[in-house]
């Protein structure tokens, strides 16, 4: 994806012509991140990568092999990981620190807040294995609160890419941006909804399709599911929702969201996260303050995940397009 910095990109070309196709390419967002690190390492000698004994899983291993003098492993000590990242930033380097999201956003939260964000240091946190799609590791590792935990910290940028290409662009954008960034990445392979040439910017979003007076707003793994659900809804009822990929959860693309929801009768948000204080809350806060509209939030409804196959868990919590469809049909009918 073409990387821009802080200006909002206008609506990019999106390659998918049939979101219901069964042969879409699937890659993990963490893989896009890992691949992009190699490009970043070659381009910017100030970038150092830090990990907490999980480089095979977080996909920083290839960077460690190519640039061993710029890679640092802190073992199972995530607070040290983030504290050392702050030290590197104070030394004029650009640290990118990785661990599972449960540890990076959860266990090390106080260090991130006080040592990185309070002094507004140039640290990038690339947190993998977020959400229930972590799967079999269960509720203790399936963080569904990380967007809430990070977006409430003053001055932090929170990015939630939807696919491989967007994840690669997100870390490149984060490194080019001066300030603390939290990047949320996932474990499983997910359908690719973008090309490497599509645009990405902090504070931006993408309008994937325009439709009726129902607007779907999603981030991360839920972008594909929301867009697919929109296609299924149109097929079943004739109602075509507008679909927005709000990959920049903070700062939110307020201009685009307000423009696209101006005449909306219903806004539905989609996130692989607790509906409290995540993307849905961010959208609801914006609309309540500037443009009141009915909002329905889809996500984890104040409950923990559980151990199981990622695909099965998505179905169990009604986060797939097919399992959401009956509720979406009822919502669409009520919004007439």
Looking at the annotation, which residues are catalytic? 78
Distance of CA 76 to the CA centre of its chain: 25
**Which of 110-119, 192-201, 307-316 is the least confident region?**
192-201
Q: How many CA atoms lie within 13 A of 256 on its CB side?
A: 28
Q: Is 32 helix (H, G, I), strand (E, B) or coil?
A: helix
| Start-end of CATH 3.40.50.920 domains in the chain | 206-334
CB 215, CB 21: distance < 8 Å? no
DSSP assignment of 118-159, as one string? TTT---EEEEES-SGGG-TT-TTT--S-HHHHHHTSTT-EEE
d(CA 322, CA 290): 33
The pLDDT of residue 333: 95
Q: What percent of the chain has pLDDT over 70?
A: 95
Distance CA 328, CA 100 (A): 32
Q: Is the pLDDT of residue 272 over 80?
A: yes
- The burial of 79, by beta-carbon neighbours within 10 Å (0-12 exposed, 13-18 middle, 19 or more buried), is given as middle
Cβ atoms of residues 298 and 272 within 8 Å: no
- Mean pLDDT of the 173-181 span: 98
Cite the residue boundaries of each domain of the chain with CATH code 3.40.50.970.
20-191
The answer to whether 245 touches 237, Cβ cutoff 8 Å, is: no
CA distance 151 to 224: 23
CATH fold for the domain made of 20-191: Rossmann fold (3.40.50)
Residue-wise pLDDT for 129-166, tens only, equals 999 999 999 999 999 999 999 999 999 999 999 999 99
Average per-residue pLDDT in the chain? 94
- Residue 36, pLDDT score: 98
Q: Is 10 exposed, middle or buried (0-12, 13-18, 19+ CB in 10 A)?
A: exposed
Q: What is the pLDDT averaged over residues 112-128?
A: 98
pLDDT, tens digit, for every residue of 208-255? Answer: 999 989 999 999 999 999 999 999 999 999 999 999 999 999 999 999
Q: Residues near 41 by Cβ (< 8 Å), separated by ≥ 6?
A: 47, 49, 63, 66, 67, 70
How far apart (Å, rounded) are the C-alpha atoms in residues 216 and 199? 20
How many Cα atoms sit within 13 Å of 331 on the Cβ side?
Answer: 24
pLDDT band at 336 (very low <50, low <70, confident <90, very high): confident
CATH class of 206-334: alpha beta
For the chain, give the longest Cα–Cα distance. Answer: 61
DSSP secondary structure of 191-249: E--S-TTSEE-TT--EEEE--SSEEEEE-TTHHHHHHHHHHHHHHHHS---EEEE--EE
Q: Are 211 and 19 in contact (CB under 8 A)?
A: no
* Six token digits for residue 300: 């984890």
Nearest to 145 by CA among 117, 107, 119, 113: 107
Residue 115 near residue 83 (C-beta atoms within 8 A)? yes
199 — pLDDT class (breaks 50, 70, 90): confident
């Amino acid at each position: 994806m073409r990387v821009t910095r802080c200006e909002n990109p206008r609506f990019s070309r999106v390659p998918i012509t049939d979101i219901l196709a069964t042969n879409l390419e699937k890659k993990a967002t963490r893989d896009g991140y890992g691949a992009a690190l190699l490009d970043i390492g070659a381009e910017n000698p100030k970038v150092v990568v830090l990990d907490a004994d999980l480089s095979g899983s977080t996909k920083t291993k290839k960077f460690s092999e190519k640039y061993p003098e710029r890679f640092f492993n802190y073992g199972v000590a995530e607070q040290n990981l983030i504290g050392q990242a702050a030290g590197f930033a104070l030394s004029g380097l650009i640290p990118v620190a990785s661990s599972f999201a449960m540890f990076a956003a959860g266990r090390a939260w106080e260090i991130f807040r006080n040592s990185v964000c309070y002094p507004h240091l140039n640290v990038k946190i690339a947190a993998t294995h977020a959400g229930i799609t972590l799967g079999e590791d269960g509720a203790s590792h399936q963080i569904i609160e990380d967007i809430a935990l990070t977006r409430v910290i003053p001055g932090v940028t929170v990015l939630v890419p939807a696919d491989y290409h967007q994840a690669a662009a997100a870390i490149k954008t984060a490194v080019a941006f001066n300030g603390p960034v939290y990047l949320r990445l996932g474990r499983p392979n997910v359908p690719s909804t973008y090309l490497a040439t599509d645009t990405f910017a902090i504070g931006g979003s993408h309008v994937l399709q325009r439709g009726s007076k129902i607007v779907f707003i999603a981030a991360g793994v839920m972008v594909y599911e929301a867009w697919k659900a929109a296609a299924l809804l149109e097929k079943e009822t004739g109602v075509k929702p507008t679909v927005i990929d709000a990959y920049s959860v903070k700062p939110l693309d307020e201009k685009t969201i307000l423009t696209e929801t101006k005449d909306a009768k219903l806004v539905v948000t989609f996130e692989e996260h607790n509906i409290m204080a995540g993307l849905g809350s961010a959208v609801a806060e914006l609309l309540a303050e500037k443009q009141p509209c009915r909002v329905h939030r889809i996500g984890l409804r104040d409950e923990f995940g559980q151990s199981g196959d990622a695909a099965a868990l998505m179905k169990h919590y009604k986060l797939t397009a097919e399992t959401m469809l009956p509720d979406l049909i009822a919502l669409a009918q009520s919004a007439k």
